[in-house]
Amino acid sequence: MNLTDNLLGETWYWVAWAVWIPLFARSVWRAPWKRLGDSEQSNLWLGMVVLLVLLWSLKAGVKPGLTLHLLGANVFALAFGPHLAFIGLCLVTLGITLNGAAGSFAYGANALLLAALPVFLSYQLFRMFSTILPKHFFIYIFVNGFLAAALVILGVGLVSSGVLGFAGVYAWDYLFDEYFPYYFLLAFSEAWLSGMIITLFVVYRPQWVVSFDDSRYLSGK
Protein backbone atom coordinates (compact mmCIF):
# COMPACT_ATOMS: atom_id res chain seq x y z
CA MET A 1 0.00 0.00 0.00
CA ASN A 2 2.94 2.35 0.51
CA LEU A 3 3.71 3.92 -2.85
CA THR A 4 7.23 5.01 -3.76
CA ASP A 5 8.11 8.07 -5.86
CA ASN A 6 9.05 6.13 -8.99
CA LEU A 7 6.20 3.61 -8.94
CA LEU A 8 3.40 5.50 -10.69
CA GLY A 9 3.74 8.11 -13.42
CA GLU A 10 4.04 11.79 -12.50
CA THR A 11 0.52 12.47 -13.74
CA TRP A 12 -0.93 10.11 -11.14
CA TYR A 13 0.93 11.87 -8.35
CA TRP A 14 0.04 15.40 -9.48
CA VAL A 15 -3.63 14.44 -9.74
CA ALA A 16 -3.44 12.91 -6.26
CA TRP A 17 -1.98 16.13 -4.84
CA ALA A 18 -4.71 18.13 -6.57
CA VAL A 19 -7.37 15.96 -4.92
CA TRP A 20 -5.74 15.66 -1.50
CA ILE A 21 -5.01 19.34 -0.87
CA PRO A 22 -8.66 20.58 -0.98
CA LEU A 23 -9.84 17.51 0.95
CA PHE A 24 -7.30 18.16 3.69
CA ALA A 25 -8.10 21.89 3.77
CA ARG A 26 -11.82 21.07 4.07
CA SER A 27 -11.19 18.76 7.01
CA VAL A 28 -8.97 21.32 8.74
CA TRP A 29 -11.77 23.88 8.34
CA ARG A 30 -14.59 21.59 9.50
CA ALA A 31 -12.84 19.53 12.17
CA PRO A 32 -14.19 19.92 15.73
CA TRP A 33 -10.95 21.30 17.14
CA LYS A 34 -12.65 22.27 20.41
CA ARG A 35 -12.71 18.61 21.32
CA LEU A 36 -8.91 18.53 21.33
CA GLY A 37 -8.97 21.43 23.77
CA ASP A 38 -9.57 18.78 26.43
CA SER A 39 -6.20 17.33 27.45
CA GLU A 40 -7.56 13.78 27.70
CA GLN A 41 -8.95 13.92 24.16
CA SER A 42 -5.85 15.55 22.68
CA ASN A 43 -3.58 13.00 24.37
CA LEU A 44 -5.73 10.19 22.96
CA TRP A 45 -5.66 11.68 19.46
CA LEU A 46 -1.90 12.24 19.48
CA GLY A 47 -1.32 8.84 21.07
CA MET A 48 -3.29 7.13 18.30
CA VAL A 49 -1.22 8.96 15.68
CA VAL A 50 2.04 7.80 17.25
CA LEU A 51 0.85 4.22 17.74
CA LEU A 52 -0.36 3.98 14.16
CA VAL A 53 2.96 5.25 12.83
CA LEU A 54 4.57 2.34 14.67
CA LEU A 55 1.87 -0.08 13.50
CA TRP A 56 2.15 0.96 9.86
CA SER A 57 5.93 0.54 10.07
CA LEU A 58 5.36 -3.17 10.76
CA LYS A 59 4.72 -4.18 7.18
CA ALA A 60 5.27 -7.12 4.88
CA GLY A 61 5.93 -7.06 1.15
CA VAL A 62 8.35 -8.21 -1.52
CA LYS A 63 7.79 -5.64 -4.26
CA PRO A 64 7.40 -1.83 -4.28
CA GLY A 65 3.84 -0.75 -3.56
CA LEU A 66 2.73 -4.24 -2.57
CA THR A 67 3.29 -3.86 1.15
CA LEU A 68 0.70 -5.03 3.65
CA HIS A 69 0.03 -3.60 7.10
CA LEU A 70 -2.84 -2.99 9.50
CA LEU A 71 -4.59 0.39 9.33
CA GLY A 72 -6.53 1.15 12.50
CA ALA A 73 -8.55 3.65 10.48
CA ASN A 74 -11.93 2.32 11.60
CA VAL A 75 -11.09 2.90 15.27
CA PHE A 76 -9.87 6.41 14.49
CA ALA A 77 -13.02 7.27 12.53
CA LEU A 78 -15.42 5.86 15.14
CA ALA A 79 -13.57 7.58 17.97
CA PHE A 80 -13.04 11.02 16.47
CA GLY A 81 -15.31 11.37 13.46
CA PRO A 82 -14.25 11.71 9.82
CA HIS A 83 -12.40 15.03 9.86
CA LEU A 84 -10.14 14.55 12.87
CA ALA A 85 -9.56 10.94 11.80
CA PHE A 86 -8.55 12.02 8.28
CA ILE A 87 -6.16 14.66 9.61
CA GLY A 88 -4.69 12.19 12.09
CA LEU A 89 -4.15 9.53 9.44
CA CYS A 90 -2.53 12.12 7.18
CA LEU A 91 -0.05 12.74 10.01
CA VAL A 92 0.50 8.98 10.24
CA THR A 93 1.18 8.91 6.50
CA LEU A 94 3.62 11.78 6.98
CA GLY A 95 5.34 9.78 9.72
CA ILE A 96 5.94 6.72 7.54
CA THR A 97 7.06 9.02 4.72
CA LEU A 98 9.66 10.67 6.94
CA ASN A 99 10.99 7.31 8.12
CA GLY A 100 11.50 6.21 4.53
CA ALA A 101 8.64 3.72 4.21
CA ALA A 102 6.95 5.76 1.45
CA GLY A 103 7.95 8.36 -1.13
CA SER A 104 7.65 12.09 -0.47
CA PHE A 105 6.31 12.92 -3.95
CA ALA A 106 3.89 10.02 -3.54
CA TYR A 107 2.58 11.47 -0.26
CA GLY A 108 -0.63 12.80 -1.79
CA ALA A 109 -1.48 9.44 -3.35
CA ASN A 110 -0.59 7.56 -0.16
CA ALA A 111 -2.69 9.93 1.94
CA LEU A 112 -5.68 9.36 -0.35
CA LEU A 113 -5.32 5.58 -0.22
CA LEU A 114 -4.38 5.21 3.45
CA ALA A 115 -6.27 8.10 5.04
CA ALA A 116 -9.07 9.55 2.89
CA LEU A 117 -10.35 6.25 1.48
CA PRO A 118 -10.52 4.22 4.73
CA VAL A 119 -12.07 7.10 6.68
CA PHE A 120 -14.67 7.60 3.95
CA LEU A 121 -15.50 3.88 3.87
CA SER A 122 -15.67 3.65 7.66
CA TYR A 123 -17.95 6.68 7.98
CA GLN A 124 -20.27 5.53 5.20
CA LEU A 125 -20.51 2.04 6.66
CA PHE A 126 -21.30 3.50 10.10
CA ARG A 127 -24.06 5.65 8.61
CA MET A 128 -25.48 2.73 6.62
CA PHE A 129 -25.46 0.27 9.51
CA SER A 130 -26.94 2.89 11.85
CA THR A 131 -29.80 3.37 9.41
CA ILE A 132 -30.70 -0.21 8.55
CA LEU A 133 -29.86 -2.06 11.80
CA PRO A 134 -31.36 -1.77 15.30
CA LYS A 135 -29.64 0.59 17.72
CA HIS A 136 -28.13 -2.01 20.02
CA PHE A 137 -24.85 -2.19 21.93
CA PHE A 138 -23.77 -5.55 20.53
CA ILE A 139 -24.65 -4.52 16.98
CA TYR A 140 -22.46 -1.46 17.40
CA ILE A 141 -19.56 -3.59 18.68
CA PHE A 142 -19.74 -6.51 16.26
CA VAL A 143 -20.91 -4.68 13.14
CA ASN A 144 -19.33 -1.21 13.42
CA GLY A 145 -16.33 -2.37 15.41
CA PHE A 146 -15.46 -5.76 13.86
CA LEU A 147 -17.20 -6.17 10.50
CA ALA A 148 -16.74 -2.60 9.26
CA ALA A 149 -13.00 -2.73 9.96
CA ALA A 150 -12.66 -5.84 7.79
CA LEU A 151 -14.70 -4.28 4.99
CA VAL A 152 -12.65 -1.08 5.15
CA ILE A 153 -9.31 -2.79 4.69
CA LEU A 154 -10.72 -5.00 1.92
CA GLY A 155 -11.92 -1.83 0.19
CA VAL A 156 -8.49 -0.24 0.53
CA GLY A 157 -6.87 -3.38 -0.87
CA LEU A 158 -9.26 -3.49 -3.82
CA VAL A 159 -8.75 0.17 -4.73
CA SER A 160 -4.97 -0.06 -4.24
CA SER A 161 -4.84 -3.08 -6.53
CA GLY A 162 -6.97 -1.22 -9.06
CA VAL A 163 -4.67 1.81 -9.03
CA LEU A 164 -1.60 -0.36 -9.56
CA GLY A 165 -3.38 -2.24 -12.33
CA PHE A 166 -4.68 0.81 -14.19
CA ALA A 167 -1.27 2.48 -13.91
CA GLY A 168 0.29 -0.56 -15.52
CA VAL A 169 2.69 -1.15 -12.64
CA TYR A 170 1.76 -4.82 -12.26
CA ALA A 171 -0.34 -7.21 -14.32
CA TRP A 172 -3.97 -7.62 -13.27
CA ASP A 173 -3.71 -11.37 -12.86
CA TYR A 174 -0.65 -10.98 -10.64
CA LEU A 175 -2.39 -8.41 -8.43
CA PHE A 176 -5.53 -10.47 -7.93
CA ASP A 177 -3.79 -13.83 -7.69
CA GLU A 178 -0.72 -12.95 -5.62
CA TYR A 179 -1.52 -9.70 -3.79
CA PHE A 180 -5.18 -8.94 -3.10
CA PRO A 181 -6.04 -12.37 -1.55
CA TYR A 182 -3.74 -11.55 1.37
CA TYR A 183 -6.09 -8.74 2.30
CA PHE A 184 -8.61 -11.33 3.46
CA LEU A 185 -6.09 -12.52 6.05
CA LEU A 186 -5.27 -8.93 6.93
CA ALA A 187 -8.98 -8.15 7.25
CA PHE A 188 -9.37 -10.78 9.97
CA SER A 189 -6.56 -9.21 12.01
CA GLU A 190 -7.86 -5.71 11.39
CA ALA A 191 -11.35 -6.72 12.55
CA TRP A 192 -10.03 -8.16 15.81
CA LEU A 193 -7.83 -5.15 16.47
CA SER A 194 -10.59 -2.66 15.79
CA GLY A 195 -13.29 -4.64 17.58
CA MET A 196 -11.27 -5.19 20.74
CA ILE A 197 -10.17 -1.57 21.00
CA ILE A 198 -13.66 -0.22 20.37
CA THR A 199 -15.09 -2.65 22.94
CA LEU A 200 -12.61 -1.48 25.56
CA PHE A 201 -13.29 2.15 24.73
CA VAL A 202 -17.09 2.00 24.94
CA VAL A 203 -17.03 -0.12 28.11
CA TYR A 204 -14.44 1.83 30.09
CA ARG A 205 -14.15 5.20 28.33
CA PRO A 206 -17.31 5.82 26.25
CA GLN A 207 -16.51 9.54 26.17
CA TRP A 208 -13.56 8.66 23.91
CA VAL A 209 -15.88 7.43 21.12
CA VAL A 210 -17.81 10.22 19.44
CA SER A 211 -19.97 7.78 17.43
CA PHE A 212 -21.20 5.97 20.57
CA ASP A 213 -24.10 7.33 22.64
CA ASP A 214 -25.33 5.59 25.80
CA SER A 215 -28.87 6.86 25.32
CA ARG A 216 -28.92 5.48 21.78
CA TYR A 217 -27.35 2.06 22.25
CA LEU A 218 -28.07 1.16 25.89
CA SER A 219 -31.16 2.93 27.24
CA GLY A 220 -34.26 0.72 27.22
CA LYS A 221 -32.38 -2.28 25.80
pLDDT in tens, 28-67: 999 999 999 999 999 999 999 999 999 998 877 778 888 8
What pLDDT score was predicted for residue 42?
95
Task: Name the residue with higher pLDDT: 62 or 220.
Answer: 62
Give yes or no for a contact between 197 and 71, defined as CB atoms under 8 angstroms apart. Answer: no
Given a cut of 80, is residue 188 above it in pLDDT?
yes
* Rounded Cα distance, 79 and 212, in Å: 8
Rounded distance between C-alpha atoms, residue 221 and residue 62, angstroms: 49
| Spatial CB neighbours of 73, under 8 Å, sequence gap ≥ 6 | 85, 89, 114, 115, 118, 119, 122, 152
Mean pLDDT for the stretch of residues 127-134: 91
| Domain parsing of the chain, residue ranges | 10-217
- Cα–Cα distance measured from residue 210 to residue 77, given in angstroms and rounded to the nearest whole number: 9
Q: Spelled out in words, what is the top-level CATH class assigned to the domain 10-217?
A: mainly alpha
**One-letter identity of residue 41:** Q
pLDDT at 9: 84
pLDDT tens column, 68-104: 899 999 999 999 999 999 999 999 999 999 988 888 9
End-to-end Cα separation, the chain, in angstroms:
41
Distance CA 218, CA 34 (A): 27
- Give the whole-number percent of the chain exceeding pLDDT 70: 97
Average pLDDT, the chain: 92
Classify the phi-psi angles of 58: left when phi > 0, otherwise alpha if psi is within -120 to 50, otherwise beta.
Answer: beta
Whether the pLDDT of residue 214 is over 80: the answer is no
In the prediction, which pLDDT does 3 show? 87
Query: What pLDDT score was predicted for residue 220?
Result: 57
Per-residue pLDDT band at 1 (split at 50, 70, 90): confident
119 closest CA partner among 101, 98, 142, 93: 93
Q: Is the pLDDT of residue 199 over 90?
A: yes
Euclidean distance between CA atoms 201 and 139, whole angstroms: 15
* pLDDT score of 219: 63
Q: Look at residue 135 and give its three-state secondary structure.
A: coil
DSSP class of 37: G
The pTM assigned to this predicted structure is 0.94
